[in-house]
Amino acid sequence: MAVGKNKRISKGKKGGMKKNVDPFSKKDWHDIKAPSFFNVRNCGKTLVSRTQGTKIASEGLKNRVFEVSLADLQNDEDQSYRKIRLRAEDVQGKNVLTNFWGTDFTTDKVRSLVRKWQTLIKAHVDVKTTDSYSLRMFCIAFTKRRPNQVKRTCYAQSSQIKQIRRKMREIMVNIKLRLVTLNTWCKISSLRS
């Protein structure tokens, strides 16, 4: 036996016993407030780590993007296929104030629109509102079979596609001329389906 070693005293394990700390105990809940042009203002809650040293909780919340169904914001279940993205701009106490950041369709809605044996035509236009918001408006169109058509397919020629795309852009530019602010655009888009 080596000098100075005592076998009867058991050693502690390396690192000791680690305490299981609940990660949610270090976090705070904040209410997400939607912009005023939606019917429902309170649209959810989010977690953020508490302020600790130089790490400020409100800075961790800013620029977060939340995705909410338009059905929840307008109390209208017919609009459930539309998703609205809201971006956190400011934190006031436990409230996170958001601003409109974009919109999209759910994937199942887009998949239900696209079918075989027809032509899909897409167009987009960049829009600048008077309250200095930049929007990119997208439009999607499909060819349709004529009544009493025998042929199973209804494909468009490339020249027809160009004409249709030009007309789609004209319509979107006309909407742009009526578009004054982001607020009016949100009202217009929530009415259309």
Confidence class for position 193, pLDDT limits 50, 70, 90: very low
Q: Is residue 82 one of the residues assigned to a domain? A: yes
**Alpha-carbon distances of 153 from 83, 115, 120, 161, 187, rounded to whole Å:** 32, 11, 13, 16, 37
Domain final residue, candidates 88, 108, 128? 108
pLDDT of 137 reads 86
Q: Is residue 98 one of the residues assigned to a domain? A: yes
d(CA 83, CA 66) in angstroms, rounded, equals 10
Q: Is residue 185 one of the residues assigned to a domain? A: yes
Domain count within the chain: 2
Domain final residue, candidates 108, 128, 156? 108
In the Cβ-directed half-sphere of 95, how many Cα atoms lie within 13 Å?
A: 9
Kindly report the CA angle at 105 between 191 and 186, in degrees rounded to 5? 35
Residue 46 pLDDT greater than 60, yes or no: yes
19-40: per-residue pLDDT in tens?
787 878 888 899 999 988 888 8
- The answer to whether the predicted template modeling score (pTM) of the entire model surpasses 0.75 is no
Residue 165 pLDDT greater than 90, yes or no: yes
82-108: per-residue pLDDT in tens?
999 999 999 998 999 999 888 899 999
88, 136: one domain: no
**Residue 15 one-letter amino acid:** G
In the Cβ-directed half-sphere of 82, how many Cα atoms lie within 13 Å?
A: 19
Q: Is residue 64 one of the residues assigned to a domain? A: yes
120, 100: one domain: no
Confidence class for position 12, pLDDT limits 50, 70, 90: low
Q: Is residue 19 one of the residues assigned to a domain? A: no
Confidence class for position 186, pLDDT limits 50, 70, 90: low
60, 42: one domain: yes
45, 69: one domain: yes
The least confident of 126-140, 155-169, 171-185 is 171-185
DSSP 83: E
Q: Is residue 13 one of the residues assigned to a domain? A: no
Biggest CA-to-CA distance, the chain: 104
101-150: per-residue pLDDT in tens?
888 999 999 889 888 899 999 999 998 877 777 888 888 999 999 999 99
Residue 55 pLDDT greater than 90, yes or no: no
89, 42: one domain: yes
Domain final residue, candidates 108, 124, 142? 108
125, 190: one domain: yes
Residue 57 pLDDT greater than 60, yes or no: yes
The predicted model gives 40-58 an average pLDDT of 85
Average pLDDT, the chain: 84
58, 126: one domain: no
